[in-house]
Structure 1
Amino acid sequence: MASHRKPRRRPTAGGTARTAATIALASAATATGLDGTGHAEPQPTPGQVKAEVDRLYREAEVATEKYNGAREKAREAAQRLRDLQDQAARKQERLDTARDALGSAAAAHYRSGGLDPAVQLVLSDDPDRYLRNAAFAERAGDRQHWAVAGVRKRLREIEQLRGAAHVELTSLKSWRTELKTHKSTITGKLGSARRLLSRLTAEERARLGAAPRAARSTGARDGLAAPGPATSQAPDSRAAAAVSYAYRKLGSPYVWGATGPDAFDCSGLVQAAYRSAGVSLPRTTYSQIDAGRRVSRSELRPGDLVFFYAGISHVGIYVGDGRMIHAPNPSAPVRVAPLDEMPYAGATRVV
């Protein structure tokens, strides 16, 4: 007896596609939270963004100080290389002159015929004159001997200078490679910070930047907007001049690697301030902390250099009343700020 059941229909390609689309939409709904149980990454709060941006700025500042140090080393290597090249060029000129003189003497000797002296004496119409000339020629030969020795000495000196120049050139290339590495690190960190900040609204960014503005206005209320009180308490005229310079630069933008006159990084501001007072300071925070006498926090006076973080990666100029002037980071200009704004590491009085 034949079966009356209908044959099972196989799904068509269109049915398969519709099923796949349904699954995909369901997955998308789950991923985007359309079903009420989304698993998307939570957006960071403005506070979390600020904490991450601050961390990136600190890491960029560490790289900036390393960049500044490498740039100084590269400049020094380049100067030494130029000096060696100049010395080699001067010695080469003297060598060429000595060679020309020896060449003229050799040519004259060749033109004299090179006869045996006894034969020349026999054939000479004036033996007395010949003997006088022979004695002169002997003395001239001694001078040529010393001239040859001088040429050899200059050749050795030039080779030594070229060897030293090669060493400096290798050093210069190494420092330039390090510069590129630090520059890449800095731009990467700052770029990440900018991208994070761009995710905030203008109002949120303004809120996060309110603390620095408050610090500046508090400084003005405390009478720190003018350098008078700070300079009068400075240990000497150089420190007073450095403090005055720092006050004049309030509001200047932070630019990594900059030493003024219109933009600064932290160590660049300190270097420029003391340069205006006739004092030459090293370029980096790591060197500036050893550029004077260490003082305790209780001994601080205006003009002292104050350092922050365990790695000594930030510096400011103390202006009294527990405050400093410093170049913070790309998010804020040169400003007055409390020492407690960052982890305090130590202080140096420039002497």
Structure 2
Amino acid sequence: MAHTRKRAGATVLGLVAIAAIAFVPATPAQADPSIKDVKARVDRLYHEAEAAQERLHDAELDLADLRSDLSGLEADQDRQDERLEVVRDQASDAVVRQLEGEGISTVGQIVVSEDPGAFLDSLSTMSSFNDLQSSLLTSYDTELEALEIRREATDAREKEIADLTDQLSTDKQTVDDKLAEAKDLLADLEAEERERILASRGSSVRMPSDVPASGRAAAAIQYAMAQVGDAYVYGAAGESAFDCSGLTMRAWAQAGVSLPHSSSAQYGSGPHVAASDLQPGDLVFYYSPISHVGMYIGNGMIVHAANPGAGVTVSGLYSMPYVGAVRPG
């Protein structure tokens, strides 16, 4: 009996041990990303792509300035070439006249000259001419050297910008790849949740029925608000797609104000205003370094080309990291 009870007890303990092992939780698998995580990731990738595009806009503006400088320098060189050619012609004529004098020495010419004083005066004039020629040549050499230095600097800058453009293209491709991955994750979520996150990327505030503005600001706002719902496309400036600085550039162009296609360049395009003094039409800037711009429309709201998910939309003034504001015009 005792032996039987021991066997029974051992059997029970074994079953308990097996049950305990069965209920030990396995190493948890990596959890699927939440809707909040996916949204944050997609938005971050959108902004990385936008920041790269705005840097490219800045590089293109720099290149345009450098090419303009080079054009002016080349025009200076052409004018200097013309001056040098005149000097060369004058010097050539003087040499020919000397040769036609059959090589008579200076002393001999003084002796045979009917007016030695006049001849000596001409020598003085020739000496002054030679001095002038030497001065012009020295000046030309100096300007030519300066031009060559500037051209080398411009060529180096053009290469730098070309390299930057290539790097931005690579960066943009990387972002596109990551964005495609994030969208795949989004597509794997339940349909109802997917619709909710896509809807949340649109305007989260009520569209204003009237924006209090007048004059040029009113014209700019009217244009920007008319684009709400249009697509966001990197580098675009209309007619039906925009990036952030493309929208503000086109909007203020309707008011006769020229702005560069760059958010950071637009930040330096007018007087800065405090957030407490904002007026409809003011440009508002975000992130550090600056890589996004929108237009203030009053009541704590802005209109802007947000990202490829939201397009041109209306958002809160502080929906992104706020940096400052500028009043165009």
* Superposed counterparts of 1:215-294, under 5 Å: 215=204, 218-219=206-207, 222-223=208-209, 229-230=210-211, 233-234=212-213, 237-294=215-272
Q: Which residue of 2 aligns with 1:18?
A: none
TM-score (norm 2): 0.78
Q: Which residue of 2 aligns with 1:96?
A: 85
Equivalent residues of 2:203, 2:313 under 8 A apart: no
Q: Which residue of 2 aligns with 1:5?
A: none
Q: Deviations over 1:1-60 (max 9, x none)?
A: xxxxxxxxxxxxxxxxxxxxxxxxxxxxxxxxxxx9686544323432222111111222
SS in 1 for 2:54: helix
Structure 2 CA distance for partners of 1:69 and 1:214, relative to 1, 3 Å:
closer
Q: Which residue of 1 aligns with 2:102?
A: 113
Matched, 1:208 2:186: no
What residue identity is the alignment partner of 1:47? K
Equivalent residues of 2:49, 2:175 under 8 A apart: yes
SS in 2 for 1:301: coil
Q: Which residue of 2 aligns with 1:85?
A: 74
Structure 2 CA distance for partners of 1:140 and 1:297, relative to 1, 3 Å:
closer
Matches of 2:318 and 2:146, distance apart in 1: 54
* Superposed counterparts of 1:13-24, under 5 Å: none
Matched, 1:143 2:132: no
Structure 2 CA distance for partners of 1:141 and 1:49, relative to 1, 3 Å:
same
Q: Deviations over 1:298-346 (max 9, x none)?
A: 4332101222345443221011232211011122321222334334443
1:49 to 9, 16, 38: 38
Q: Deviations over 1:245-289 (max 9, x none)?
A: 212333332222333444322122222222332223354333433
1:184 to 170, 173, 179: 170
Matches of 2:290 and 2:180, distance apart in 1: 25
Structure 1: unaligned runs, 5 residues or longer: 1-35, 224-228
Structure 2 CA distance for partners of 1:118 and 1:342, relative to 1, 3 Å:
closer
Matches of 1:155 and 1:343, distance apart in 2: 54
Structure 2: unaligned runs, 5 residues or longer: 1-24
Shift of 1:69: 1.7
Shift of 1:196: 1.7
Equivalent residues of 2:80, 2:140 under 8 A apart: yes
Bigger mean CA deviation after superposition, 68-77 or 37-46: 37-46
Structure 2 CA distance for partners of 1:137 and 1:200, relative to 1, 3 Å:
same
2:314 to 326, 333, 336: 336
Q: Which residue of 1 aligns with 2:16?
A: none
Matches of 1:306 and 1:129, distance apart in 2: 83
Instruction: Give percent identity, aligned residues only.
Output: 33
1:198 to 184, 189, 197: 184
Matches of 1:157 and 1:290, distance apart in 2: 33
Matches of 1:346 and 1:132, distance apart in 2: 77
Equivalent residues of 2:249, 2:258 under 8 A apart: yes
Equivalent residues of 2:281, 2:296 under 8 A apart: yes
Shift of 1:290: 4.2
Q: Which residue of 1 aligns with 2:154?
A: 168
Matches of 1:257 and 1:191, distance apart in 2: 18
Q: Which residue of 2 aligns with 1:226?
A: none
Q: Which residue of 2 aligns with 1:68?
A: 57
Equivalent residues of 1:67, 1:183 under 8 A apart: no
* Superposed counterparts of 1:27-42, under 5 Å: 41-42=30-31
